[in-house]
Amino acid sequence: MYKSGFSICAILIFLFILSAALQAQYSGGSGEPNNPYKISTVADWQTLMKTPSHWDKHFILTANLDLQGIMLSPVGNNPKAFTGVFDGNGHIIRNVVLQQPDSQCVGLFGYVDQNGQICKIGLENVEITGSDLVGGLVGFCNSGNLDNCYAVGSVSGSWCVGGLVGDNSGSLTSCYATGSVSGDRNVGGLVGDNFFGNLNDCYAASFVTGEKCAGGLVGGNMVGNLTACYATGLVIGVGAVGGLVGWNVNGTVNNCCSTITASGEYDIGGLVGSNRGGILTFCYAKGSIEGTGFGVGCLVGMNDKGSITACYATGSVNGRSSVGGLVGLNKAGSVNERPNVVDLVGLDKEGSISACYAICIVSGEDSVGGLVGKNRSKASLIDCYAAGSVSGNIYVGGLLGSNDDSVVTACYSTGSINGENYIGGLVGGDYNGSIIACFWDIETSGWATSAGGVGRTTAEMKTRSTFTNAGWDFVGETENGTEDIWSVCEGTNYPRLTWQIPSSDWLCPDGVGMEDFSYLAQFWMIPEAGNTTADLDKNNAVGISDLLLFCEQWLRGK
């Protein structure tokens, strides 16, 4: 009995000493959810790097760290991933230098697997080089979660290279990256490749260079979801180069935008370079887009069986063929025809475009149109407009360069037109197609003839009855429909799509201005004002919060 008691006592003492020794490896904590290991010093970080058995534990950063001069290795690798929780606690880690040009899964955290979480951490002065799956913070995020993280610096590699994450199939929320990112394929300012991943409220402001699939935010987005994200900066590549996403395959991009300069050879877009089966809704792009080949657009370079709804683009686009103010090349099947240059859509084959607009300066060679360069094979266009200038050589029109066996309904154009042969105010050439209830401005376009449509004066184009008499669905009438697709400030503006009109634009002319401010002021602090449109925040009163919302739209120039 004595020996047995002594043995038990010895074991307990050993376990106590072992536990104390393990805790002593860090600045405190036990690695449990309610008592995470405390990372307070560079020595603590070095311990974390060298102790894979702890990579499923909980950690909290309790001070800023400077890793200058420290030989770093990624936390988490293949086969031993990081599956724990790392809370940056709002602190910053500086001088993160990792040079592993022949390695995969390279980042401060190399491999974050399922259940792994990283939050509230910033990295500054990052210099990371790897081969594949290379990111400023995480090389490969496989079903992990990143929240409120950022990285500033330079990241380079070959395949799946991102300013924050190299390859992501997890979730990123409120994250950003700035600096430079370079690689060969799937290169993005924030994420190199987003495979079934989700990005919410994220952005990148970067200089991105890659050969194929290079994007200001994401290089390749395969069945991933992007919501409320944006990108600024410069993107340069060869093919599938986009201001936000280089290559979008069956992915969803909603309420996103880019203000960027993008250049390359083919499939170059201000928002998405190549959109294959993807869905874009309520997105826009502003910038300068340059392409030396085909499929160059202010919003999307090439749209293949994708869907684009309630989107717009402004700026300038220049390319050789299939160049458009919204989409360069739009198709739903194989195309063996010569590419075309357009203002809104390059080549629309068996596709449908609705409720979109473009105000881009576009130049090309043949089949150049303010809305569509060549519309063919049962394609349909409805409720769209183009207001940018169009210039080309042959088959040039304010709305369509040429229309082949397709239907165009309730569309208009106002831009100036310059060309050499087969020029039309609305359509350059029409072949077995139907153009229904469409108009162009004979004064601003400089052309009184067209292969289809009806020419009107500027005054007539700003008159509601011109369009309602032709069956257009306008606000305030039900005879032509109840969807209220169009609205117009008669005598001062052309028709606009109702989705593009800001909630503070109550009075004519178009745009939020002093006349709208006067409207808001007359309901200020009046009890019954909650029943008016001046109650922007819907709290049954017109007060400070409504004024702030009004000013926000005014300052945005809407």
Measured over all CA atoms, what is the biggest interatomic distance in the chain, rounded to whole angstroms? 112
d(CA 344, CA 385): 9
Residue 348 has pLDDT above 60, yes or no: no
Please report, as a single letter, which amino acid is at residue 379. Answer: A
In the prediction, which pLDDT does 260 show? 92
In the prediction, which pLDDT does 81 show? 97
Q: Give me the mean pLDDT over the 107-117 stretch.
A: 96
Give CA torsion, residues 356, 362, 365, 368, to 10 deg.
30
In the prediction, which pLDDT does 248 show? 96
Q: Give me the mean pLDDT over the 438-455 stretch.
A: 97
In the prediction, which pLDDT does 380 show? 75
CATH class of 265-461: mainly beta
Q: Give me the mean pLDDT over the 385-390 stretch.
A: 93
Q: Give me the mean pLDDT over the 238-253 stretch.
A: 97
Give CA torsion, residues 102, 107, 109, 115, to 10 deg.
-90
Q: Which stretch of DSSP H or E encloses residue 445?
A: helix 442-445
CATH number, domain 22-229: 2.160.20.110
Percent of the chain clearing pLDDT 90 (strictly above) = 65
Average pLDDT, rounded, for the chain:
88
In the prediction, which pLDDT does 556 show? 61
In the prediction, which pLDDT does 336 show? 23
Residue 558 has pLDDT above 70, yes or no: no
- DSSP-based three-state secondary structure for 38: strand
From 1-5, 400-404, 545-549, the region with the lowest mean pLDDT? 1-5
In the prediction, which pLDDT does 333 show? 33
Residue 215 has pLDDT above 60, yes or no: yes
Q: pLDDT tens-digit profile of 486-502?
A: 999 999 999 999 999 98
Confidence of residue 376 (pLDDT cuts 50, 70, 90): low
Q: Which of 274-283, 383-392, 434-443, 498-507 has the highest mean pLDDT?
A: 434-443
Q: Are 22-229 and 265-461 equal in CATH topology?
A: yes
Residue 10 has pLDDT above 50, yes or no: no
Residues with Cβ within 8 Å of 190's Cβ and at least 6 positions away in sequence, in order, are: 162, 163, 164, 165, 172, 175, 176, 177, 199, 202, 203, 204, 206, 217, 218, 231
Confidence of residue 212 (pLDDT cuts 50, 70, 90): very high
From 108-122, 196-210, 384-398, the region with the lowest mean pLDDT? 384-398
In the prediction, which pLDDT does 349 show? 41
Q: Are 353 and 308 in contact (CB under 8 A)?
A: yes
Residue 555 has pLDDT above 70, yes or no: no
In the prediction, which pLDDT does 22 show? 46
**Residue ranges covered by each domain of the chain:** 22-229, 265-461, 509-555
In the prediction, which pLDDT does 405 show? 78
Please report, as a single letter, which amino acid is at residue 43. Answer: A
In the prediction, which pLDDT does 5 show? 47
Residue 9: CB atoms within 10 A of its CB come to: 10
Q: pLDDT tens-digit profile of 302-335?
A: 888 788 888 998 999 888 887 787 887 777 532 2
| Top-confidence residue, 266 or 529 | 266
Pairing of strands 191-195, 421-424: unpaired
d(CA 176, CA 184): 22
Confidence of residue 338 (pLDDT cuts 50, 70, 90): very low
Q: Give me the mean pLDDT over the 503-515 stretch.
A: 79
- DSSP-based three-state secondary structure for 220: strand
Residue 384 has pLDDT above 50, yes or no: yes
- Please report the DSSP string for 454-473 in residue order: EEE-HHHHT-HHHHHTTT--
Confidence of residue 549 (pLDDT cuts 50, 70, 90): confident
Tokens of 352: 């449908």
pTM metric for this prediction: 0.88
CA dist list (Å): 521 to 249, 501, 505: 48, 20, 14
Q: pLDDT tens-digit profile of 132-188?
A: 999 999 999 999 999 999 999 999 999 999 999 999 999 999 999 999 999 999 999
Residue 11 has pLDDT above 50, yes or no: no
Q: Give me the mean pLDDT over the 188-202 stretch.
A: 98
Residue 482 has pLDDT above 60, yes or no: yes
Q: pLDDT tens-digit profile of 416-427?
A: 999 999 999 998
- Please report the DSSP string for 458-525 in residue order: HHHHT-HHHHHTTT--BTT--TT-SS--EE--TTT---EEGGGS-TT--SSSSSS-HHHHHHHHTTTT
CA dist list (Å): 153 to 192, 294, 336: 15, 33, 44
